[in-house]
Chain A
């Protein structure tokens, strides 16, 4: 049962991401990304991390992508970047893809061990994640929140500047 679900969710996830890259229409891109995030939430649930699964769906599929689609529907983009700018994006995305591929290959190393390590006691439960966030990972957590605050303030400043002109 768990295996069937795993393969089903993985196929949906990878398939929708490939579809997202292949289609040109931005709205379809966003919808396929929603599907990918939702099935990733399902995969987290299969890994006995229901809290992460729920948060994945609420934050990514339920909130962030709604804003994406909102913006896409509002501005209704027709054509992409002009060709002279496209060259640089090719180089840039090629570099990022190479780094990501290297990371993936490195992470494959751990998955070939025969015995999968059993999850810890109440692994992935809200209590445990909350405790870790406020003890061991307090500084990264606080720094991330400051970063997000800075991004929000920056967005407001940019919008206000345009209004003045």
Chain B
């Protein structure tokens, strides 16, 4: 009984973390773009005159979206049109189950893992769910029965499936280095040291793999500079025929993808919840010092480190989105197939040669 309660609590906690971060990512996007363009940004939403640099804006946006008219075009395929946003949202939301937020926490004699489900093939699970998310894009493009939506859906499908190849291949080098697909063991492996003082993070072991993964993941989120499926200024995108909360679901899916990509980069390449030199009982510095800490402070350090790393990569992705112009379609395909895929193959061969030495 208490096990079920623990799992339920973990699901609730993780999902509320996920959705709150999604909401505040919309705020971050507006504020960061405003700062970069020398504007003030959203700052009018308030509770009893209390503004706090527009921190209530996401809630105002959500309420507005809920009360907007939910308009379904007469010419659309009603069922598919309705299904599409839910398919998109579901397959991104479910990936969070495999993400490790921390090592474990001891409460009342119980050891609870800070991860909803520790799959044997956690990495493949996340990739599988992300690859199913493409059906939301295709369904909305086709089900709307509008030309612009269809163009957006086709572009989205072509782009995601091209970059998925590079995404998968870039991770093979990593899997060769950590001989496991279990995300928690991967993070444990990154707690070791190279030469006694450099933390053994994936980015130090697989620098090329990290760069390929980062670019391919950016393309998977379908945002500038890879935003051809949306193309705000020309075709509006696969969600052109949506309004109200259904459109809101598509927008939230975008932001949730950013968070999932950030958690994946953190977990695979930046040590997940590992803090350099922090073991289960406190810090052990390479120059000989020690700083022992109680269990719960160590857990706080781990979860805090995970969160800070995830926030950093979310911030970086928003920065990239507001810095670069859009690629042309042939440039996009060239980058995927002629640069990233061969580079990731070279990375696999190189990793194999280095490992067999």
Contact = CB atoms under 8 A, between A and B. Distances in A.
B138 interface: yes
Contact of B157 (A27, A55, A70): A70
A63 B121 contact: no
Nearest to B160: A66
B131 A57 contact: yes
Say which size band chain B's interface belongs to: 20 to 34
B131 A50 contact: no
A51 B150 contact: no
B138 A66 contact: yes
Interface stretch (B21-29, B122-130, B317-325): B122-130
B203 to A, nearest CB: 24
A141 to B, nearest CB: 17
Interface in A26-53: 27, 31, 34, 38, 41, 50-51, 53
Contact of A51 (B124, B154, B161): B124
Given A50-B120, A61-B132, A66 B157 contact: yes
A54 interface: yes
Query: Majority SS of interface residues in chain A?
Result: helix
Given A51-B121, A63-B161, A73 B150 contact: yes
Nearest to B134: A66
B105 interface: no
A40 to B, nearest CB: 13
Nearest to B168: A58
Contacts of A69: 138, 142, 157
B181 interface: yes
Given A63-B164, A69-B157, A70-B157, A126 B181 contact: yes
Given A58-B131, A63-B131, A67-B161, A50 B154 contact: no
B135 interface: yes
Contacts of A73: 138, 141-142, 150, 153-154
B191 to A, nearest CB: 22
Given A50-B120, A70-B154, A74-B154, A57 B128 contact: yes
B6 interface: no
B136 to A, nearest CB: 12
B119 interface: yes
Interface residues of A, number: 24
B154 A66 contact: no
A31 B181 CA distance: 29
Interface string B177-200: 001010000000000000000000
B339 interface: no
B140 to A, nearest CB: 12
B142 A58 contact: no
Contact of B161 (A27, A50, A66, A74): A66
A164 B153 CA distance: 31
Given A27-B142, A62-B128, A126 B121 contact: yes
B127 A58 contact: yes
Nearest to A25: B77
A30 to B, nearest CB: 9
Contacts of B142: 27, 69, 73
A53 B125 CA distance: 9
Contacts of A41: 128
A69 B141 CA distance: 12
Given A38-B132, A69-B138, A62 B119 contact: no
A67 B153 CA distance: 13
Contacts of A51: 120-121, 124, 181
Nearest to B153: A73
A62 B131 contact: yes
Contacts of A70: 154, 157-158, 161
The 5 closest A-B pairs by CB, nearest first: A62-B131, A54-B124, A57-B128, A50-B121, A58-B128
29 contacts: A31-B135, A34-B135, A41-B128, A50-B119, A51-B124, A54-B121, A54-B127, A54-B128, A55-B124, A57-B131, A57-B132, A58-B128, A58-B131, A58-B168, A61-B128, A61-B132, A62-B128, A62-B132, A66-B134, A67-B161, A69-B157, A70-B157, A70-B158, A70-B161, A73-B138, A73-B150, A125-B120, A126-B121, A126-B181
Interface of B: 119-121, 124-125, 127-128, 131-132, 134-135, 138-139, 141-142, 150, 153-154, 157-158, 161, 164, 168, 179, 181
Interface of A: 27, 31, 34, 38, 41, 50-51, 53-55, 57-58, 61-63, 66-67, 69-70, 73-74, 125-127
